[in-house]
Structure 1
Amino acid sequence: MIVLLSIIVMFLCIILFLQYRAKQEKDQHLRYMAEKLEGIMMDSTREQIQIVTDDKQVVHLMMQINQLLDRSREHERNFIHTEASMKRMLANISHDLKTPLTVIVGYLEMLENQSNITVSEQAHLLRKVRKKANELVHLMNTFFDLAKLESGDLVIELERVNLTEIAKQNMLAFYELIETKGFEVDIQLPDKPIWMRGNEEALNRIFNNLISNALKYGADGNWFGLHLCEDKQFITIQIIDRGKGLDEIQQERVFERMYTLEESRNKAFQGSGLGLTITKRLVEAMDGVIQVVSKPYEETIFTIQWKR
């Protein structure tokens, strides 16, 4: 009996000792993790917490902390990217607003200070003032439209629309410009209507933005294509040009707010840098996706797809 009790006591001591050692080891791991985490956060390093242990709870905690670190770094990268984008956007907005305002002020000063100006010259200057004022109003409306789209305040009501007819009407609107510039064209529209749930006004704006963009930036290729088709899964629109195209960085950033090619800041390529951003938001508001693939002077293709 005494021997049995001794064995039991010995086993209890061993168990207590092992539990004590396990607790010590767990406490040591937790202290290390706390100190390591504090160092990572203070120094903003890219390290992760690494511990070799058989304790499943410690391993699980370590994995969760590393996931939180990854998310924190991703949020930090997004914040830095957004901050840079906002600074660029403010600079571009200032530039785009300042240009027409400066011209308007200049014309008004001419009207005010030149007493010998003729009636016809006054009318000519006033027409220029009106043109620049209209540009300014259009630009402000574009900014407000994007703000409404991104805040969700602009409601895009969906109804059954004939996408084939909308595409035809938009092509007719650009027909004279395409003919004047002597573009070769490849228009592939189905004979039958393609019906979808969409918003006609939004679709007109999408077509307008993409077609005008292709004619403006793809002018070097002297070629324009518009393809519309459907299959059992998707409705697909492609706007194609063979101009100078986009490099890989431009393809990644072309839908960003206020992102414009360098040429777009020149007089011949005036633009707010919001057209493609608004296009993307409108496509997404109708549950579609848009992407671009470009090979300079071969093909630049903007593709929009909606699920059937």
Structure 2
Amino acid sequence: MTAFLCVILLVSVFMNVMQYKAKKERNSNLRYICGKLYGIVSDRTNERLLLVTAEQELRELLIGVNRLLAYIHEINSDSARTKLSMRRMLSNVSHDLKTPLSIVLGYIETIRYNRDLSSEERDVLLSKAQLKTVEVSGLINQFFDLAKLESGDWLIDRRRLHLNEVCRKSMLGFYDIFEGKGIEVSIEIPEAPIFIYADEEALRRILDNLLSNAIRYGYEGGIVGLTLHHDDSYAYIDVWDKGKGIRETDRDRIFERLYTLEDSRNSSTEGSGLGLTITKKLTEQLEGFIDVNSSPYERTVFALRFAKLK
């Protein structure tokens, strides 16, 4: 009986010792986790918690904490990109508004103070001032449009659309510009009607932006085209040109808000850097998809895809 009691006592002591060691190790691991977390958060690093432990609960805790750290890092990265975009936007807004307004002011001062101007010369300057004012007004409208899209205030009225006709009307709207710039036009629109479910105003805006973009940056190629085609599920619109194209390093960012690297297609003293951003957002609002492929001076294509109505 005494031996049995001794065995029980030894087992109890052993269990207490093991529990103490396990508790001590758990406390040590928790202190490590807390200290490491404090350092990661304070230093804003992209580290993860690494700890070898046999405890299932601690392993699950580590997995959860690391997922949370990855999520926080993603949020911080998005925030940094947004701040950079906002700084670039403010810089570009200042430049894009300041430059034409300074030119308008120069025209007005010339008209006002130069008494030797003839009526014809005054009319020419007034005409130029008007064009620049229209340019500023258009830029301001683009900023308002982008703000409405990002806030969800752009109302989409989707209905059954005859895509062939919308494409024809968009190309026809640029006829005078094509002719004035000596740009050849290629239109491939099938006779068989293709229907999609979309907002006509939004779709016209998308096509107008892409055609304006092709004219502005692809005119050197001497040709701008629109191709409409389809398969059993989708309708496709390709707006293309044979101009200078887009560098591969710029293609992933070409639709970003106000992405205006000097050599990118979306950057010019003539452009605001908003057209393609608005185009992408409108396409997504219509549940469509847009992509770009480019081989300089061979073919640069902005490709749209929408679900086709049966």
**Same fold flag (TM > 0.5):** yes
Distance 1:218 1:131 in 2: 23
Identical aligned residues as a percent: 43
Moved more, 284-293 or 180-189: 180-189
Report the counterpart of residue 51 of structure 1 in structure 2: 51
CA deviation after TM superposition for structure 1 residue 9, in Å: 3.6
Mapped to 1, the partners of 2:255 and 2:127 lie a distance apart of: 34
Does the C-alpha gap of structure 1 residues 291 and 160 become closer, same or farther in structure 2, counting only changes over 3 Å? same
How far is the alpha carbon of 1:192 from its aligned partner? 1.8
| Cα distance, 1:266–1:273 mapped onto 2, change above 3 Å | closer
- Offset of 1:184 from its aligned partner? 5.0
Corresponding pairs, count: 306
TM-score by length of 1: 0.91
Whole-angstrom CA distance in 2 between matches of 1:183 and 1:108? 34
Query: Which stretch of structure 1 is more off in the superposition, 123-132 or 47-56?
Result: 123-132
Supply the distance in 1 between the matched residues of 2:100 and 2:119 (Cα, whole angstroms). Answer: 23
Q: Deviations over 1:226-263 (max 9, x none)?
A: 22222233222221222221112211111111123526
Secondary structure at the aligned position of 1:218 is classed as helix
* 2:259 paired residue number: 259
Alignment match, 1:121? 121
Kindly tell me: are residues 274 and 120 of structure 1, through their superposed partners in 2, closer, same or farther at Cα, counting changes over 3 Å? Answer: same
Deviation string, structure 1 residues 234-293 (Cα, Å, up to 9, x no partner): 2222212222211122111111111235267655xx011110011011111111121212
1:73 aligned residue:
73
Q: Does the CA contact (< 8 Å) of 2:267 and 2:273 recur in 1?
A: no
C-alpha contact (below 8 Å) 2:220/2:243 kept by paired residues: yes
User: How far apart, CA to CA, are the structure 2 residues paired with 1:137 and 1:293?
Assistant: 31
Amino acid aligned to 2:27: D
Any idea what SS the aligned residue of 2:225 has? strand
> Does structure 1 conserve the Cα–Cα contact (< 8 Å) formed by 2:242 and 2:297?
yes
The code of the aligned residue for 2:161 comes to V
Measure, in 2, the Cα distance between the counterparts of 1:225 and 1:114.
46
Does 1:287 pair with 2:281?
A: no
CA distance in 1, matches of 2:128, 2:8: 103
Match of 1:134 in 2: 134
Distance, in Å, in 2 between the alignment partners of 1:95 and 1:286 is 32
Structure 1 residue 89 displacement after superposition: 1.0
Instruction: Identify the range of structure 1 (51-60 vs 230-239) with the bigger mean alpha-carbon deviation.
Output: 230-239
List alignment gaps of at least 5 residues for structure 2.
none
Contact 2:259–2:267 (8 Å) recurs in 1: no
- What is residue 225 of structure 1 aligned with on the other side? 225
**TM-superposition CA deviations, 1:164-208 (whole Å, max 9, x none):** 110111122223443555545543222122111111111111111
Q: Counterparts in 2 of 1:102-113, with a 5 A limit?
A: 102-113=102-113
Equivalent in the alignment of 1:213 = 213
Alignment partner, residue 173 of structure 1: 173
- For 1:92, the aligned partner's letter is N
Corresponding residue SS for 2:215: helix
**1:297 shift after superposition:** 2.5
Counterpart-to-counterpart distance in 1, 2:111 and 2:299 = 49
Distance 1:8 1:227, change over 3 A: farther
1:144–1:223: structure 2 CA closer, same or farther, 3 Å change rule? same
Work out the CA distance in 1 between the residues paired with 2:78 and 2:143: 22
Instruction: Note the alpha carbon deviations across 1:53-80, whole angstroms, 9 max, x for none.
Output: 1111111111222222222222222222
Residue 152 of structure 1: aligned partner: 152
Structure 1: gaps spanning 5 or more residues: none
**Counterparts in 2 of 1:175 and 1:106: CA distance versus 1, 3 Å:** closer
User: CA, structure 1 residues 132+53, in 2 after alignment: closer, same or farther (shift >3 Å)?
Assistant: same
Distance 1:218 1:39, change over 3 A: same
- Please state whether the residue corresponding to 1:262 is helix, strand or coil: coil
AA of the residue aligned to 1:302:
F
CA distance in 1, matches of 2:173, 2:259: 27
After superposition, where does 1:8-27 map in structure 2 within 5 Å? Answer: 8-27=8-27
The aligned counterpart of 2:200 is 200
Partner of 1:163: 163
> Under a length normalisation based on structure 2, what TM-score does the superposition of the two structures give?
0.90
The equivalences for 1:286-305 within 5 A come to: 286-305=286-305
